[in-house]
Structure 1
């Protein structure tokens, strides 16, 4: 005697999820695909419907149709040693990874040395990822700008020059950051303010120099003669403590007195602070210091450093959000600006 087959429960569908959640099919699809252009209420209702119906998206079939990999790459074209020594990268990556973890996308990290550049470009063009994030202290290279014509790319630094197509960037206003830090020194009564810049081949470093210079000029503290120009109080570093120390030595070696020092990164500021103390100068008594980046390099010094917080973790999250929106074929602002704020400590 044969037994009658048991009736299987109906297979949940996207239409059923949308109906139960009280949203359109397209909204339910956007929630499932991790699109950032969905309200929190819709996300909650769709996820509740998915759980109630035990809906399992056929991701493999969907990705095959859309030619999607559900992978995005964070590309960092920096020397490996510089990458691991700089907390800036870790903070941005942390924000990016945390946001990506709330979506269906997996974030992969590519540290690109000069020797690996061609290999990285081949990988990105092979269809292995759906989009890329470019994070560097340096300006967006022409290669990546060209790549963004065919692959969704979001840059963590704006290009040096205007480009003839829409390059999407998520960044901070570096001119404003430097201006805030410099103005704080002026407000503390400092009238002769030097600066240590980042590598001036980079957009951010040039912007910070411009912010320092324009703020001094606005306060009537710019150069007042050909022999005593503001350039005498400028030295260049490369965002490392050692370069900050070397730049401070060069500033002191010029014999031009200064009572304030704006340093373009906290790493360089920590090195400069050590040199000032070695020369018998007190901080902030003899020289007040302000800087940019709110990380361990600004808090582990004595005194702790007054700095401009760039909210770098938020930057990472916003980069991923913008990239996923591009991948979904939706409109994205060409420039997204992350808010900044002054954090006052004992160095100024």
Structure 2
């Protein structure tokens, strides 16, 4: 009877192994699949939990885990056409493609905004139709993050998510760059400096806002006014209109990206404010639009194409069994006529 009862006992799950070991399901899956990029402490904790629980992965699951497809996915948390009209993403994809040309890997683009798209993406991960994932344009507590974490696949983040810090990511020095841009305005003698932020549920917007505050605090200045934008030209124009209606005495504005800065410059000109004489403007990104504003935009340059290239290289290193470190790319100020 004891043998019969033991044979019918429910098998422990991967989630239970991870909980017992005190690690994520991603880390537990990597240990079980004998992936190399796991710390020794986590590997030992998972192996101990496996012994204690009597966990035994199915042969079919192991076969799926070790199969190589030769495909990596770039998953974007959005499907708004305006997202892909932004040159930022075009530069990132060009950078990824350039790095993958040096390998035998193919790139698959996945959009993860809708529930149906997320279900399809989950199936893609579950069947191991891709060997690894790159994530970009994450917002808030993004479901794509949870899907890739549960999959156990090597994953590289383009920019950090708002909550938590992943093991592998490539990002720009957003906070330092924003501080540099704001410092430049302060150095020009501007003291009533407002800021237009990006989407509130993105880490990049938070970091650039904190960089602005850092510079103002060091200079002994209080933030003059803050308005939220959405990283689009229209969003920047709307935020600038609100600033002029409520804080008309501002003499400078630091804007969290070039698209919004272009919208802000347009509104300033329409309202009879001279740029930079009356209001100096600094943006962030140094994309093509920065050279087409009137006057051309002073902005913080971030190496957008390199962001994509380094994401792909980091993922390739993971797939080769290496343990790359997270990477923060430097930013620099490009001075033009707007400030």
TM-score (norm 2): 0.77
Name the structure 1 match of 2:74: 74
Q: Which structure 2 residues correspond to residues 211-226 of structure 1 after superposition, within 5 A?
A: 211-222=211-222
RMSD of equivalent CA atoms: 1.9
Separation of aligned partners in 1, 2:168 and 2:142: 14
Structure 1, 293-302 or 115-124: larger mean CA deviation: 115-124
User: SS at the partner of 1:190?
Assistant: coil
Gaps of 5+ in 2: 1-62
Q: Determine the structure 2 residue equivalent to 1:309.
A: 301
Does residue 156 (structure 1) correspond to residue 158 (structure 2)? The answer is yes
Query: Contact between 1:140 and 1:155, CA under 8 Å: does it hold in 2?
Result: no
Unpaired segments ≥5 residues, structure 1: 1-62, 223-229
Residue 330 of structure 1 corresponds to which residue in structure 2?
Answer: 322
Residues 176-209 of structure 1: per-residue CA shift (max 9 Å, x gap): 1110110111111111100000011111101111
> How far is 1:87 from its partner?
0.9
Distance 1:65 1:264, change over 3 A: closer
Q: SS where residue 99 of structure 2 aligns?
A: helix
Offset of residue 148 of structure 1:
3.2
> For the residues of structure 2 that align with 1:142 and 1:107, how far apart are their CA atoms?
21
Offset of residue 285 of structure 1: 0.5
Q: Could you tell me which residue of structure 2 aligns to residue 117 of structure 1?
A: 118
Q: Deviations over 1:223-282 (max 9, x none)?
A: xxxxxxx3x610001000000000001001104411111000100001111100111000
| 1:287 to 2:313 alignment | no
Aligned length: 275
Question: Corresponding residue for 1:205?
Answer: 205
Deviation at 1:346, TM superposition (A): 0.7
Q: Cα offset for 1:332? A: 1.6
- Contact residue 298 and residue 336 of structure 2 kept, 8 A: yes
Indicate the structure (1 or 2) with the bigger Cα radius of gyration.
Answer: 1
- For 1:127 and 1:137, locate their aligned partners in 2 and report how far apart those are by CA, in whole Å: 22
Distance 2:335 2:283 in 1: 10
In 2, Cα distance between equivalents of 1:318 and 1:140: 24
TM-score normalised according to structure 1 size: 0.75
Which of 312, 315, 333 is 1:320 aligned to?
312
Q: Deviating runs (4+, > 4 A) in structure 1?
A: 63-66
SS at match of 2:333: strand
Change (3 A) 1:245 1:182: same
- For the 8 Å contact 1:194–1:261, the answer to whether it is kept is yes
